[in-house]
Each structure stands twice: as C-alpha cells, then as structure tokens.
Amino acid sequence: MNINALVRKNVQALQPYSSARDEYKDASADMVFIDANENPNNTGLNRYPDPQQHLVKEILADKKGLNINQILLGNGSDEVLDLLFRAFCEPGQDKVITLPPTYGMYNVLANINNTSVIPITLQADFQPNVSAILAAQDTTTKILFLCSPNNPTANSFNANAIEKLVKNFKGIVVIDEAYIDFSSQESWVSRLEEFRNLIVTQTLSKAYGLAGIRLGICYASPEIIAVLQKIKPPYNVNQLTQNTAVKGLLEEEKVKLQVADILRERSLVAEALRTIAFVEEVYPSDANFLLVKVDNATGRYEQLLNKGIVVRNRTKEPLCGNCLRFTIGTAYENNILIKALKSVS
Ligand SMILES: *Cc1c(COP(=O)(O)O)cnc(C)c1O
C-alpha cells in the first residue's frame, strides 16, 4: 500500500517546521544556549521542551519492542486523532467511517475538519459489520476508526473481524486502544510490521491515571509517523507532561495492581447491578466501565444525580436505548453507587 498517495496534496508538499531545539539538539549541559529567546534564569522550566520527547519515546519503544520512528506523541489522543484528519482528509471532499455507538470525538473532529462521516452501526452483538464496512469504502474514505475495547459498549471487537478490515480496507485503519490495559485481548501494536496502513492509539488518561497531563500515543509505520511529524505543533507535549509521563511509565507495577483492583471491582459492581430490579442488562465489559440497560435511563440518571452520583446517559446512542455508562470507581465510590441504586428501586 502506498501511504503517501493517501496523504493530502498540500501535506505531501510540506517541509517540517524546524524549531530552535530541532536545529541544535546535541545539548550538553555546559553549552551556551542563546538561540531560542528564552529567559536564561533556571527555573527548571525556562527552556522549551524536547519537541521529539526522546525520553518518553525511548521508554515506550523499549516497552513495546518498537523503534522510536514508529511513535508520535500528542496532547492527549484527541490531538493525535485531529492530526490524522489533517494529514489524510481533504476538507469538503474526503470521508471517514465510524462504527456507532462509539467515541464521540471522531464525529467532533470530523466536523471541525469539514470531513463527512459514514456511520456503519455495529451489529446487535456490538461487533463490526465487516461486509457493510468494506462495501462502503471508495477512493474518498480515507480513515476507518475502530475503537476496541469500544466506548460506550465496553466490548472488544473480534480479532478476526479486525484483521479482515485491516487487510481489506484501502485507507488508514485506526484502532483506538484507550482501554487496552483493562482488556483480555492482545494489543494490535504487535501487528504493526505486518500492516503499513495500521495506526494504534493509546493514552495515559485511563489505566495510567494521568488524564490531567494529556499524553496520547500513536503507534504506526515509519511512513505514517513521518507524515504526522510534518504537521504536529513543534512543542505539543509540554515539559511537565514529559516529566510526569516518564515517571508514570516507569511505575508499571503500580498500574498493574490498580488495574487488577479495578477489574475485581468491576465484577463486584456487575454482580450487584444484576440484583437491582430495574436493571435489565449488564453488558460484558473489557474496559473500566459498564454499559447497563435499565427501565428508564433518563429517569434513573436524574435519581442518581439527586443523590450526588454522576453517570453517563447514553440512551440517545444507536443500540443504547435506556443505557447508562458507569465508570468503575474506588471500592468506596462503588458501594455508594450500589446503595443508591438499591434505595431508589
Ligand atoms: C478516553 C478515551 C480516549 C482518551 O483520550 P485522551 O485525549 O488521550 O485523554 C481516547 N479514545 C477513547 C475511545 C476514549 O474513551
């Protein structure tokens, strides 16, 4: 597959912007840096951050068995997703395919980038309709967004279905793995060498407990990363974020323990929900939240809100009539939720 042929013409022609720190980066501490109009007084933050985030990328590359030229970092995965539109979708002309019910940002970013969306609703079992997706593609469908585990349905897509799509879709296939650390499925990062059109996005916002720093990760072929490098803002990942990400990524054991806790709590909450009379279905979850069908989602949402509990009402999403989404909280918070549900039934 020729990746470059999928890239917008103006982006193909772009030269990457070269910042001061790009032009001279072999920084040894005793050199005099008077090239970037910074305040010279050391605050620990008076210098521009590394535009290539080498330390963070080296840790990720080591963890995933990749080269750093297969990694791009963004101000959250949301920035990474926005860069994908800007790289591949000619405004007013190209299209993307999404599989509702799914993450709302794909539509938001499509609208901002004047790109139309072809929605191919998931099947009743929340799995992709592979033949309908492949039938919908043409030369203008540049990106297919697969969210697995999917938000808000909480399930992972079948590996066979994903593989068929990656092999037969003629554009870019994005697998959004925001919830992969909670999943029993293997990450598609290990299949990047096989599929040059595959992009896997991950984030430190969920399992790593670092939503506040905004760090999103894009894993892809070096050809795709080189395109995104040309259009990313030079200092899109700030120094505080890089510092905290390095620390957070090195605390993998702590994250594993927290994930194990959350998964245990998920089983307890699911079990308790099934005893509530107005709960009609608790869908299987491969993530840190539960999609739950109740008798009247909007009524139950209001009742919980009155008790100081904020959940997400997904009732307007396709296939999600009368569904609420509950994020798994701490044991303390989950008990409050269960007590509240029992008291309103
Ligand atoms: C939460 C979430 C993200 C995270 O986005 P960030 O910008 O990295 O915080 C990405 N994709 C999905 C499907 C999500 O639910």
Residue from 80, 103, 202 to probe ligand 1 pocket by mutation (most atoms less than 8 Å from CB): 103
Strand blocks (E) in the chain: 71-74, 95-98, 116-119, 141-147, 172-176, 198-203, 216-220, 279-282, 289-294, 312-313, 323-327
Which ligand 1 atom lies nearest to the CA of residue 203? Answer: 8
Cα–Cα–Cα angle for 55, 224, 214, rounded to 5 degrees: 45
Q: What is the mean pLDDT of residues 78-94?
A: 98
**What is the spatial distance between Cα 265 and Cα 287, in angstroms, rounded to a whole number?**
12
pLDDT at 342 over 70: yes
pLDDT at 244: 98
Ligand 1 centroid – CA 178 distance (Å): 5
pLDDT tens-digit profile of 118-128? 999 999 999 99
pTM: 0.97
pLDDT tens-digit profile of 88-115? 999 999 999 999 999 999 999 999 999 9
Ligand 1 centroid – CA 154 distance (Å): 13
Which of 17-21, 93-97, 199-203, 290-294 is predicted least confidently?
17-21
Which ligand 1 atom lies nearest to the CA of residue 204? Answer: 8
pLDDT at 61 over 80: yes
In 275-330, alpha helices (H): 297-306
Q: What is the DSSP letter of 50?
A: P
